[in-house]
Structure 1
Amino acid sequence: MTRTLYLFGSAAPPVVDVAKVIEDAQARGFDVCLGLTPTAARWLEESLDGLAALTGHPVRWEYKLPGQPDAWPKADVILLAPATFNTLNQWALGFTEKFVVGVVAEGIGKQIPTVTMPCVNAAYVQHRQFERSVAELREMGVEVLYGEGGFVPNQPGQGKPKEYPWHLALDAAERIAGGAA
């Protein structure tokens, strides 16, 4: 049985490798729908048509207009990675101006299994709101892959986007979706 994965990404360097992540998810049996924050969509602007062809679904970064049909099937699981400091805090605080933040916030209420993995540097995590947001999302049932067994922050300017542990995020999405897709 094919399961639908909403793969959402925000504007952190690992998002540039999203095509490889989509292919990995598809190899695991997922039907992938890709959503991006507006800045991430701008970063990937030249690849958006190819990403839509790869997934078989339009890439979304904006809310649809009232009365427009939804172009995606219903999600079985949501993965938001990389999740920036801004996106994670907006989600935890319920600020849903961005399409992807609105979908993941609503997904909690719809009880859609959700996992996220931040991509933030060690300076951002010193801000008290970051830990509060991680705790809040975990209390709401979101699996947050942060710290040991997930993403470990690097020093500012020392990022290693090619080392972002995408496999951990996909493993978690597969597990919370109820096993192999």
Structure 2
Amino acid sequence: MQEQTGYPVRAQWRRPGDTEPHPPADALLVVPVTFNTVNKWAVGASDTLALGILNEAIGTGLPVHAFPRVKATLAAHPAYAGHLRLLGEAGVVFHDASFLRPGDEMTADRWAIVVDTLRRTGRPTGTT
């Protein structure tokens, strides 16, 4: 990933005083977002770097687009629909991710579907 963007991959929290090595984001994409992540995100859990970033993004007003890929049996859980609704009310835009199958890698053709979806739904200007 670093070779593609020119920026280091961040896998750990920054310490106080550490500089931010990345430019400010125009939007945040969560592709794919799992059942576990949706539920933890909705209740504000920040026990991983990824969840901390997702939780902070809601507070910044940054456009957040999520593509859930969840088995039907898990999506039927009573908490799931409520958590989608709660995050949606907080500004998260959810998109159909039926083009993803569990275990699939995000190949160029799948990223093209994500980009096309964002273009059709009014992705923010300047988003890359």
Q: TM-score range by the shorter chain?
A: 0.7 to 0.9
Output the CA distance in 1 between the equivalents of 2:40 and 2:112.
25
In the TM superposition, what is the alpha-carbon distance from 1:76 to its structure 2 partner?
Answer: 0.7
Indicate conservation of the 8 Å contact 2:26/2:126, yes or no: no
Distance 1:134 1:63, change over 3 A: same
Distance 1:124 1:58, change over 3 A: same
State the identity as a percent.
Answer: 29
Indicate conservation of the 8 Å contact 1:115/1:142, yes or no: yes
Output the CA distance in 1 between the equivalents of 2:19 and 2:112.
33
Cα RMSD between the aligned structures?
2.6
Count the aligned residue pairs: 124
Give runs of aligned pairs for residues 32-43 of structure 1, distance below 5 A. Answer: none
In the TM superposition, what is the alpha-carbon distance from 1:115 to its structure 2 partner?
Answer: 0.2
**Pair 1:177-2:124 in alignment:** yes
Output the CA distance in 2 between the equivalents of 1:180 and 1:113.
10
Distance 1:73 1:134, change over 3 A: same
Residue of structure 2 equivalent to 1:128? 78
Residue of structure 2 equivalent to 1:68? 18
Indicate conservation of the 8 Å contact 1:79/1:173, yes or no: no
TM-score between both structures, scaled by the size of structure 1 = 0.59
TM-score between both structures, scaled by the size of structure 2 = 0.81
Question: Secondary structure in 1 aligned to 2:72?
Answer: coil
Match of 1:86 among 36, 58, 76: 36
Give runs of aligned pairs for residues 1-181 of structure 1, distance below 5 A. Answer: 51-145=1-95, 150-152=96-98, 159=102, 161=104, 166-174=111-119, 175-178=122-125
In the TM superposition, what is the alpha-carbon distance from 1:52 to its structure 2 partner?
Answer: 1.0
Output the CA distance in 2 between the equivalents of 1:70 and 1:163.
26
Output the CA distance in 2 between the equivalents of 1:80 and 1:163.
12
Question: Secondary structure in 2 aligned to 1:116?
Answer: strand
